[in-house]
Structures are given as C-alpha cells and as structure tokens.
Structure 1
C-alpha cells in the first residue's frame, strides 16, 4: 500500500504553513510595552506597541506646537516632555533613545 505524500510541497513549506495558520508572534515593535508614570502623562497608562507610543508622542508635540520653528528637527520640551527627556531640547533623532528608557 503506498504511503501518503504531500504533492508539490517540501517539508519546509509544510512547516511554514503550520506557523502561518497558527498566527504570528508580534515582533519587538508590535509587542505592547508599558509606559512609565512620566510617559503615561503624554500617551496614557495602557500598554501600547512602541510604534503607537512614538506616534502619540508626535501627536502631542504637534498639538502643543513644540517643534522649533527655525529648526523643525528640534523638539522644545514642555514640563511633561521634560520629565521624559530629562532636558529642555532634544532632536527628533535622540527622542527614541529617551523614550526607550520609559518603556518596559
């Protein structure tokens, strides 16, 4: 009696199909993280993916007009953001470094 074979599928394709059917695990940017008390003042206390945290911080910056008008890459921190950044002025490039200290 002949054994059952998978027609046209290699073993790796079969395993990949099982993983996809079972769902993917979130990558580091999609995994919810909990903001610190200081950062929660800006983005809320609920766990969020890192990408959503950054998006909410940018929304806050734009809503409160905290970008330097002469150099839009600079963020002029108000009291809430100064608690997160630990300084009055940061560039958009160093912002993520400061945010990561407030995520767990």
Structure 2
C-alpha cells in the first residue's frame, strides 16, 4: 500500500497500482466478496472457581509449627514466608555464610533439634509438621 501512494507510484505500471489500491474485500476479478456477520452473546455466568491444591492449600500444622507461625492452619508457601521473616527479624543467618541459619529454641523444635540448618533444607524439614487432613 505504501508503494501506491508514495514516490514509487509513478514508476509502477497502472495495473500494479490498481492491485495495490484495491481494498481487501475486492477480488482480483473485480467481484465484490461478501462477508458474513455473526453475532456472539457474552455469557453472564461466572467462571468456575478452581479448587486450591498442593502447596497452596492450607493444612493443619503441629503445635511446634503453630508456635512459630502463629496460626493453626497455613499453606506451605505462607509458612516458608513466615519462617524466613522470623529468621530475618531475629538475625539468625550466619554473617559469613548467609546460606546457613543458626537455630534458636523455636526453630530447633521445628528443625528436628538441629543447631544449624542450610537454607535449602528448610522446605524438607518443615514437611513433617504439616498434618494429613481427613478429607
């Protein structure tokens, strides 16, 4: 289309500029193509809500974990956030090696009585504190 209106329109033969100027609803044979109009209605129903599963589903926790996070039922992701907030607030990361956490009494109860825990071990150590639900 830019060629038909631009500087090069005088260079092209007249047949080529006609083809470039024709709107897309015209066929090359000069016949007009018909478009069919379809109507769609918007559904007014709300989309179905998804069931929360996996690590996002709140589960009951052990009394030791409840003492640390402060609630009797929490999801794994939220529990990890709460634990990391507790570690940061109480300055429990090793200053030389930030990947090591020095456990205080509350953390020792959750982390199987260990004095030091690696940051990648936390998710595995909190698993036994999430109780199985009966449903």
TM (norm. structure 2) is 0.60
**Cα separation, 2, equivalents of 1:65 and 1:33:** 28
Larger Rg: 2
User: Where does residue 124 of structure 2 map in the other structure?
Assistant: 97
Counterpart contact for 1:37–1:45, Cα < 8 Å: no
Instruction: Please list, as runs of the form range in 1=range in 2, the aligned pairs for 1:1-104 lying within 5 A after superposition.
Output: 21-86=47-112, 87-104=114-131
Moved over 6 A (4+): none
Higher relative contact order (CA 8 A, sep 6+): 1
* 1:46 Cα offset (Å): 2.7
Structure 1 residues without counterparts, runs of 5 or longer? 1-6, 8-17
Residue by residue over 1:17-75, the C-alpha shift from the partner in whole angstroms, topping out at 9 and shown as x without a partner, is x9x82210113021001121111111013311111000000000000000011100001
Structure 2 residues without counterparts, runs of 5 or longer? 1-38, 40-44
**Cα separation, 1, equivalents of 2:89 and 2:60:** 23
TM (norm. structure 1) is 0.77
SS at match of 2:117: strand
**Cα separation, 1, equivalents of 2:60 and 2:70:** 10
SS at match of 1:75: strand
